[in-house]
Amino acid sequence: MTRSSAPGKVYLFGEHAVVYGEPAVPCAIERRARVRVDQRSDGRLRVHAEDLTLDGFTVEYGRRDDGPDVNVSESLVAAAMGYVDGAIEQVRAVTGEPDVGFDVTIESDIPLGAGLGSSAAVVVAAIDAATRELGVTLETAELADRAFRTEYEVQEGQASRADTFCVTAGGAVRVEGEACRRLEAPDLPLVIGFDGGAGETGQLVAGVRALREEYGFAADTVEAIGDVVREGESALADGDLEELGRLMNFNHGLLSALGVSARSLDDMVWAARDAGAYGAKLTGAGGGGCIVALDPTEATETALKYTPGCEETFRAALADEGVKRLE
Ligand code: MEV
């Protein structure tokens, strides 16, 4: 039995634009996915996920061509299983054990598809635990790369390295194309608002791609996000919360222009701003899910509690450690 965990993440700046080679700055937060792996002798893959959804599910897989045997919605299973299945394929490839099987148990306090990096955290923790179960310990760069390949395949080529590198390495990171590194960052007063929903990352990324191809000004908007990120990096290095907040507001406006916000996200962003937050923006693919605000006081959390459409609000500490090897 081997266990690993990986944190969730929020984007301070740069989601979507990072897919087209602009820089992005996500940072890991102390909400984790924990994955336990036990090798099986029969080559099958069995996944039990307690908290990925409200009800949890168990699914038993044979090799790829056997159908899963489950009693929950197929799209739900397909979404969650796609990532786990892809992660185990990477494990089989990197360890040179094509027929190895596992029992995989997932516990997560990161809501699925809500912009907090749940899929990246599950994939990173699963690859790390399953490779170690076979006696192979991957370096950070290799682990992040294998996790990226998993997301890239599951999301049909529409993924950057940002989520997977961030949750592997921990802390605040900068990702631009293949260049990934950690940044010095103070512990930021991050407040999250969650609308209880989720966005379809693939569809949202495809929507931005289509806009960018159709309109020069949409392509300029993507580039403008890159400019905001570069300014944001200096503000982060200086620990200048006021400037960070202003730039987060700007970034949200540009994402809205690209069509990836939602009424619930805009309502939460405005509630945070009205409460006096330094700034607020959606985080991740958008369409629904979470916003992130900067506020050292309790005002934003209180305001979000009373915002229709906000189902949950919480403070998130920066997770300095990325993947954790539990045993
Ligand atoms: C999703 O968490 C972030 C996107 O930029 C897609 C990606 O970078 O893979 C929308």
Kindly report the average pLDDT of the chain as a whole number: 91
pLDDT at 63: 41
User: Is 187 marked active-site?
Assistant: no
Which of 118, 205, 255 best tests ligand 1's pocket when mutated (most atoms within 8 Å of CB)? 205
- For residue 123, pLDDT over 70 is answered with yes
- What superfamily in CATH does domain 190-316 come from? GHMP kinase, C-terminal domain (3.30.70.890)
Q: What is the pLDDT of residues 203-220, one digit of tens each?
A: 999 999 999 999 999 999
CA of 289 to the centre of ligand 1 (A): 13
Q: Which atom of ligand 1 is nearest to the CA of 204?
A: 10
- pLDDT tens-digit profile of 247-270? 999 999 999 999 999 999 999 999
Q: Which ligand 1 atom is the nearest neighbour of the CA of 17? A: 5
The per-residue pLDDT for range 99-108, each reduced to its tens digit, is 999 999 988 8
pLDDT at 56: 42
Distance 159 CA to ligand 1 centre (A): 6
Buried b (16+ CB within 10 A) or exposed e, 277-310: bbbbbbbbbbbbbbbbbbbeeebbbebbeebebb
The catalytic residue among 128, 163, 195, 267 is 163
More confident residue, 327 or 70: 327
What is the per-residue pLDDT for 187? 86
User: 16 CB under 6 A from ligand 1?
Assistant: yes
| 2-183: CATH class | alpha beta
DSSP annotation of 196: S
Q: What is the pLDDT of residues 156-178, one digit of tens each?
A: 888 899 999 999 999 999 999 99
Q: Who contacts 67 (Cβ-Cβ below 8 Å, separation ≥6)?
A: none
Residue 231 has pLDDT above 50, yes or no: yes
Mutation test of ligand 1: which of 27, 151, 154, 163 has the most ligand atoms closer than 8 Å to its C-beta? Answer: 163
Range(s) of the chain covered by CATH 3.30.230.10: 2-183
Mean pLDDT value of segment 230-239: 97
**Contact in structure between 175 and 161 (CB atoms under 8 Å):** yes
Predicted confidence (pLDDT) per residue in 21-59, tens digit:
999 999 999 999 999 999 998 999 988 876 554 344 445
Q: CATH 3.30.70.890 residue ranges in the chain?
A: 190-316
Reduce the DSSP state of residue 28 to 3 states and report it. strand
What pLDDT digit, counting tens, does each position of 144-153 carry?
A: 999 999 999 9
The predicted structure's pLDDT at residue 71: 41
